[in-house]
Amino acid sequence: MYKAAASLVGVLIAFMVISNGILSGHIGNLLSLPVIHIAGLLMVTFILLISGEKKTGNKVPFHLNTGGLFGVLLVLFNNYCFDQLGASLTLSLGIIGQTIASMMADSTGFLGMKKYPFNRRKLAGLVLLLAGAVVMTDSWKGDAVPVIMALSAGAFVILSMIINSRLSLLVGTFRGVRRNYLAGLAGSLAVLLVFRPSPEPLFGMFLQIHPLFIFGGGFLGVLIVAGSNRILPKIPVIYASLLLFAGQAVTGIVSDLVTSGSLPVNRLAGVLLVLAGLFINMILEKRNATSV
C-alpha cells in the first residue's frame, strides 16, 4: 500500500511542478517562492482547523525545523542548473544524487530512520537505475560546479523528506507540514532580501494568471509533504524516492503524449530502465524477507 501511495505522490509532484512552472514563468523564479509558500501555509492552516490535529508537546531539535530551507535551496539549485546544463541532464544528475543519498540514509539509519543494510545482490538493479538516468540525458555539457549542484539538489530532496518525516513523528503530520512551510517562507524572504528582484510582476499577478496556478502548487505541496511524511518511515528511503520519480516520469510521458503527440525515445527508454531496476530490487527484497 505504501509503495503505491509513493507512486501517487510522484504523480502529484508532476502536477505541482507544472503549476509552479506556469507561476514562475509569469512572475519569475524568485518571486514565485514566497507565493508558493504562502499558498501552502493557507492550505495547511485550513486543514489543521478542520482536522483538529492536537499539539503533542514534544520538544523538537532545531535541525528538524530546517526541511523547508532545503526545499528553497533545491529550487534555486535546479533553476541554475537548468540554465547551465539543460533540463534532461539536471534531472538525470538529480536522480543519481537521490539514489546515492537514499542508499547512505538507508545503510546508516540517518536521523533515526530504520536501517536497511546494503545487499550486494541489488547492485544489478542499481546499475539499471543509474543507466536509466544516463540514457535520459540528451547531451553532456557544463563544468564541475553546476554538475555538483545538480547532484546536491537530488540529495536535498532526500534530506528534506527525511527531516520532515522525523519532524512529523514529534509534532503530527500537518503541524510538521506547517513548520516546513514556515521555514521555506523564511528562506524565500531571505532570498528576496539578497537578490532584490523587482516586485512589479506581483501587482498584475491575479489579472494575468488563473488562481489555480497561483495557489495550486502550494496546495499540492502540502499533500505531497504530508504523504511523504507518512510513507517514509514505512519503506526504505531509496524505494520511496524512486517510486516518487516513477510516478513523476509516467505522468510526464502521458503529458508529453497528450500535448505534443510524441515522446523522445531516450526519455522513454530511461524511464523503463529505472522502473526495471526498481522492480528487480523490490523482488530481491521480497525474497530476502520471506527467507528470514
For the cut 50, the answer to whether the pLDDT of residue 204 exceeds it is yes
How many Å apart are CA 71 and CA 63, to the nearest integer? 14
Top-ranked range on mean pLDDT: pick from 11-15, 35-39, 111-115, 273-277: 35-39
How many CB atoms sit inside 10 A of residue 90's CB? 26
Range 249-256 average pLDDT: 72
Per the CB < 8 A criterion, the answer to whether 103 and 118 are in contact is yes
How many Å apart are CA 159 and CA 152, to the nearest integer? 10
Written as one string, the DSSP assignment of 207-237 is HHS-HHHHHHHHHHHHHHHHHHHHHTTTS-H
Listed in sequence order, the residues at least 6 apart from 111 whose beta carbon sits closer than 8 Å to its beta carbon are 162, 163, 166
Question: Given this model, what pLDDT does residue 292 score?
Answer: 47
Q: What percent of the chain has pLDDT over 70?
A: 88
For the cut 80, the answer to whether the pLDDT of residue 159 exceeds it is yes
Range 59-65 average pLDDT: 91
Q: How confident is the model at residue 262 (pLDDT cuts 50, 70, 90)?
A: low
pLDDT in tens, 71-121: 898 888 877 887 777 666 677 778 788 888 888 888 888 888 888 777 776
Amino acid at 292: V
For the cut 90, the answer to whether the pLDDT of residue 189 exceeds it is yes
How many Å apart are CA 215 and CA 213, to the nearest integer? 6
Per the CB < 8 A criterion, the answer to whether 222 and 47 are in contact is yes
Written as one string, the DSSP assignment of 163-218 is HHHHHHHHH-HHHHHHHHHHHHHHHHHHHHHHH---SHHHHTHHHHS-HHHHHHHH
For the cut 80, the answer to whether the pLDDT of residue 194 exceeds it is yes
Q: Show the cell assigned to 158.
A: 532526500
Higher local confidence (pLDDT), 164 or 249: 164
